[in-house]
Structure 1
């Protein structure tokens, strides 16, 4: 603000000086010409008016954007004048006055009599002194402006110090209220901090940290307390009654039901000011900015609702989410850390956006885990996560690596229509319920090595770039109907209970070496453009390769216990059954092995 005031003051002083010079030095006939030329005066007047209006509007707009109840810090420190400024100014005034008088004396025309020349010389001296006086006035005006500037800055610094002192007092008082044993007092402290943060943007982060620290304090939700199944003894303590803190019998007890309400209020305050938009879609005037960070490590959060919020570098490490946790439509900028967290209820992340890494390692989801339509721009880490309920990742987009290694899905899981642009790691994953990847697309390597599928696994119409299912186990139906394998597909040493690959397309190597098919193996209509390796595979049930197109088929050492059907199969390249054990085999149709 001081810089802009200085610029405006300099513009005013410069305009006055130029106007004075114009009035003194410009010959009178010129003014007569300007006065008669309205076509010149009107544009000049309009231009000056537009210039002044623009400067005023610029300043007004700046003032409107600076409106805040927070104390305004003083601008950069004004450097004191050097000791040589005043003497140099005096010398400069004298030099300018002497130069003006000398120049005017030298310009006196040598015409007329001596009296007239004397009058002209006197006028020139008077004009030179006037110029010196004008320079002196300008210098004095500059010193006065400097003095006023220092006075304004001193006043501004005084007001800033007073404001900061008041903010500090309110901050300390509100923080003390949070330590009260009475719930209404703690609520008053929270709302006082909220108002303080809203009026003082510079203190918002520190106030958010205080609220987060309060939520990190140990707390057991009242719903989580055990309920006795039989009438307790007469001398048994009341589990719903307030209890004093251990080792501090003099401290009044805190009712957990009241504390629950205080914590819910703290959560609502954070959510209210972290949403950048209103429910109607307009900008939220209560938003505290996109750089506010949350650190709720090991906190106990009850029915948390941060849907639609903007969370920057949010940390929920080892946090316990009691009840429903809502993050639907939230935006996570930076790293989102949920490592080791526990969700006792449903967790909803539908439509959320993770612009950085999402770290969910070792998280436990007891209820439904909803990640439908979520966008992961960075690494999505779900390693060793336990999904006790249904997990929904339908339509999710994984731009970075998706790491689900050694995760456990106790119920059904759906990845239908999901997009994996990088590595998809599912090595060692335990799928206890049904698995659905229908219509998913794996642009990078899909690694399911050592995964266990106890229920049905549906990979119908899935697009694989490079698929690895080495030593995986499918206890239910393994459906790959209509799937497309653009790169190599490795199913070596896989155990299938019921394998269905009808209509699948393998563009690269299809490796089923030492695979075990306990039930029927259905490959009807499948196309193998590369090597199809079934060496050492075991087919306990029927093996159906009807209408299959082989480029290079290798069944060396394979064992067919049931019927092996190759009806109307086409072998375009080499075919090898060396060492294979054939039970009931049927070769019929053109292009069969019998030919």
Structure 2
């Protein structure tokens, strides 16, 4: 079925993906719990197989003759079998006892750290952060470590207002009118919580960097709805199945920094997150996941940078994303995902740059996007790729219904692939295709909503227009414009 609403369909796909990953995680935990029994049975069966093989080789290869056992021999065999079974039972009991001791020690340390995190005293909560990190480092089993990480992420998801993060207030009273009466509500606060939260982020980030003594990179991280101040994830690696920044507010007086971060798990999502930090930095970041989602994100930072970022995998989505800061840069970014979508995205502000960016996947969509920035540059960008080796080339480039307002430049860019569709676009401003190479099988500008200020190399010589560029005759006629009178 054709998707009529890209934003809604993308949300449904994300929910289905997350449910599938959670089910897979539960299955993995069940299999890990059954691993002990499987190991013991394997050892017993393996021992019997070795004994049987040894007897068979002696009998067949070395000519050992089987003799009828007497009562003493039968007794020896019975005692040997009993000893073997007893040893296997002892092994199981010892293994389970050791496992229970480890579980008990983990529960004790984990509980103590959790109680510290819940204390009213910020100094005790700080100690709880380091205690929980120590438990995660000591117990390297994936399930145990994941529990500790979940607690730290859960703390960050608790309600928090940055304005209250550094004061000494333990409660706040608010008065409201209800049914004609004044009602006072008292809200309890975790006073001086800012440093605790920053410490959690710092501890997590340190364990995601290459120099960390114990790596947490393969854990899942769920920051849904958290408020992260001065979040510094520079040079970190998220390699877990699911990394979730859904609805996160990135605030503070310093950058929200993901410079050189690597996302190598199955799915990373920033859906509906809001960036208001002075700088949002994803420069040189690598998104090597099956699905990367920035749908519905609002970038309000004065500067947003994705310079030289690299996207690979099945899908990278910026559907409905709003870039509202003064400057947004995707300079030399590489989109190698099978499907890249900026459908219904809003590019506003003073300057948006896709200069030298490369879109080489099978599908590229800017469907119904709003290019409202004062200047938007695709100069020297490569939109689409020709077939090569096993790659069949870009199938479609979709700018259908896109609004090109302001100064938009495709100068010296390359539009390649099977087809590029600019139909029903709203071209109003200074839109330049000077020096653009149209190598796609077909590039269609038919039925524009407006056609004002658009420049091509063949404006003065329509005969020089490539035959692959439509419509014919040229130039396109806006839908609202009267049709040309037929020639007599």
Common topology (TM > 0.5): yes
Residue of structure 1 equivalent to 2:421: 467
User: Judging changes above 3 Å, is the alpha-carbon distance between structure 1 residues 251 and 428 closer, same or farther for their aligned structure 2 residues?
Assistant: closer
Deviations, residues 393-433 of structure 1 (Å, cap 9, x unaligned): 23321431313314232231122232152132241413222
Measure the CA separation in 2 of the matches of 1:249 and 1:529: 71
Counterpart residue number, 2:464: 526
Determine the structure 2 residue equivalent to 1:348. 281
**Equivalent residues, number:** 404
1:557 paired with 2:473, answer: no
- C-alpha deviation, 1:194, in angstroms: 1.4
C-alpha change, 1:411 and 1:404, in structure 2 (3 Å) is farther
Gaps of 5+ in 2: 1-38, 174-183, 385-393
- What does residue 232 of structure 2 align with? 305
Matches of residues 375-414 of structure 1 in structure 2 within 5 Å? 375-389=311-325, 390-394=327-331, 395-397=333-335, 398-414=337-353
- Asked if 1 retains the 8 angstrom alpha-carbon contact of 2:399 and 2:425, the reply is no
1:133 alignment counterpart: 72
2:310 match: 374
Q: 2:243 aligns with which of 314, 327, 332?
A: 314
Task: Tell me, yes or no, if structure 1 residue 446 matches structure 2 residue 382.
Answer: no
How many Å separate the matches in 1 of 2:410 and 2:282? 24
Task: Give 1:19 deviation, angstroms.
Answer: 12
Unaligned runs of 5+ in 1: 28-95, 101-127, 226-238, 279-283, 504-520, 539-554, 559-576, 580-595
Structure 1 distance, partners of 2:382, 2:57, is: 77
Shift of 1:456: 3.6
Given the alignment of the two structures, is residue 243 of structure 1 paired with residue 183 of structure 2, yes or no? no
Higher relative contact order (CA 8 A, sep 6+): 2
| 1:584 corresponds to | none
Cα 1:4–1:524 change in 2 (3 A) is: same
Q: Distance in 1 between matches of 2:217 and 2:84?
A: 38
Question: Paired residue for 2:5?
Answer: none
Q: For the Cα contact (< 8 Å) 2:294–2:317, is it kept in 1?
A: yes
Task: Name the CA distance, whole Å, in 2 between partners of 1:423 and 1:246.
Answer: 50
Cα shift at 1:179: 0.9
CA distance in 1, matches of 2:242, 2:169: 36
Given that 1:450 and 1:471 are in contact with CA atoms closer than 8 Å, whether structure 2 keeps it comes out as yes
Q: Is the 8 A contact 1:426 1:448 kept in 2?
A: yes
Shift in alpha-carbon separation, 1:536–1:339, aligned structure 2, 3 A: closer
Query: CA separation of 1:318/1:252 partners in 2, compared to 1, >3 Å: closer, same or farther?
Result: closer
Given that residues 321 and 342 in structure 2 are in contact (C-alpha distance below 8 angstroms), is that contact kept between their aligned partners in structure 1?
no
* Secondary structure, aligned partner of 1:532: coil
CA RMSD of aligned residues (A): 3.7
Asked whether the 8 Å contact 1:426–1:451 carries over to 2, the reply is: no
SS state of the match for residue 205, structure 2?
A: helix
Q: TM-score, normalised by structure 1?
A: 0.60
1:213 matched residue in structure 2: 154
1:332-391 deviation per Cα after TM superposition (whole angstroms, max 9, x unaligned):
422322121110122222332142222222211122222233214233322222212222
- The corresponding residue for 2:443 is 488
Aligned to 2:432: 478
User: What is the Cα deviation at residue 457 of structure 1?
Assistant: 2.6
C-alpha distance after superposition, 1:257-290 (max 9, x if no partner): xx22211221122223334x44xxxxx6522353
Closer/same/farther in 2, CA of residues 15 and 285 from structure 1, 3 Å limit: farther
1:186 Cα shift? 1.1
What does the per-residue CA deviation read over 1:492-549, in whole Å, with 9 as the maximum and x for residues that have no partner? Answer: 335344332116xxxxxxxxxxxxxxxxx555783332562237849xxxxxxxxxxx
CA contact (8 A) 2:157 2:225 kept: yes
Q: Distance between the aligned counterparts of 2:289 and 2:160, measured in 1?
A: 32
Distance 2:466 2:199 in 1: 62
